[in-house]
Amino acid sequence: MVGSAIWRALEAKGYIHLIGRTSKELDLRNQQAVQDFFSKEKPEVVIDAAARVGGIMANNTYPYQFLMENMQIQNNLIDTAFHSGVEKFIFLGSSCIYPKMAPQPLKEEYLLTGPLEPTNEWYAVAKITGVKACEAIRKQFGRDYISLMPTNLYGPFDNFDLKTSHVLPAMIRKFHDAKHSDLSMLSGVEAGSKNSPVELWGSGTPMREFLYVEDLAEAVVFALENEFQDNLYNVGTGEDLTIKELALLIQRIVGHTGEIFWDSTKPDGTPRKLMDVSKMTQAGWKAKTSLEDGIRKTYQWFLEHQDSFKEVKI
C-alpha cells in the first residue's frame, strides 16, 4: 500500500529513474540479496517503505516474526545504503513507537520515555531501532538520514484480510460482507429487514488518528525534496476520533444497516494515539484529505477489487 502510493506520487512529480522491488522479487530479510541489489542498481536515494505489519491479533500471534523480520529488513537496507554511499535515506515507522501512556498529542521528544503498548511492542521495538540507526548515521557521519512516523494509514491496496488487517480496512470488510451476507441463514432474523450484525473488538472508546496513504506519499516526496533540520518527524492529520465513531462513519459509507456488537473481552490497545504534527507543519507540509473522503475513496477501491479477496465468514 505505502510503496505503491509513494511510487505513484513520484511519477506524478516527474521522477523517471525509479527503482523498486516487491517482496517477491527481493527478500529484504536476506542480507546478501540486498547487498547484491545495491551493487547492481546503485541507488542514490532510498525510501524504506517495507515492513511486516498487522493489527493487534497479528502482533500478538507472531511476536518473534514482527520483531526479527522488521529488524532484518531495515538493518539490511540502512546498513547497505550507508556502506554503498547513499546520502539520503527516508525511513518510515509508526506512531506505535511512542510510550503507551505518553502525554497527548504525541511529540517526537516522547520517544523512549516510558513503557510501550504490550499488544504491539514487538513491532515498535523494531521500528525504534530503525529510527536510532538513522539518527546515529546522521549524528556520526552527517548524512541526510531521516525518519517519518506516520499515524494509522489506510487507502488503496490496503490489507483487507480479517486475520491480519488493521482496524479501518477490517471494518470496511466486515461491514461490506455483513451488508451482502445471506440473512435467510441467520436464525431469528427476518430476510429483508436488516443486514446481518457486525462484531467488533474492544469497547470502542480508544481514540485513533488516520492518514490517507496518498497524503503520506506526498509527505515522503516533500521530505525527499527538502532538507530537514532534525532526524524524526511525525506525519498525520493532528485530528482523531473514537473507534466507535469510526465504526459508525464506515457503516454509513458502506451502507450497512445491521447492528454493531462490541466484544469487550478483546483488548483495546493504547487509549489514545494522537500525533503532534507541528514539526511537519512548520517544515511546510500538511495533510489535505479528510477522513470521510479518504474512506469513500478506499471503499470504492475495495469494490473495484473485491473479486481478488477471499470470502470470510461473518
- Which are the catalytic amino acids? 123
Q: Any binding-site annotation on 308?
A: no
The per-residue b/e assignment along 94-111, b for 16 or more CB within 10 angstroms, e otherwise, is: bbbbbbbebebbbbbebb
Q: Any binding-site annotation on 26?
A: no
Q: Any binding-site annotation on 67?
A: no
Q: Any binding-site annotation on 29?
A: no
Q: Any binding-site annotation on 208?
A: yes
Q: Any binding-site annotation on 127?
A: yes
Q: Any binding-site annotation on 84?
A: no
Q: Any binding-site annotation on 273?
A: no
Q: Any binding-site annotation on 21?
A: no
Report strand pairing: 152-154 vs 144-150: unpaired
| C-alpha distance from residue 206 to each of 114, 167, 243 (Å) | 19, 12, 6
Q: Any binding-site annotation on 268?
A: yes
Q: Any binding-site annotation on 151?
A: yes
Q: Any binding-site annotation on 153?
A: yes
Q: Any binding-site annotation on 92?
A: yes
Binding residue numbers: 92-95, 127, 150-153, 166, 174, 201, 208, 268
Binding residue numbers for NADP(+): 92-95, 127, 150-153, 166
Binding residue numbers for substrate: 174, 201, 208, 268
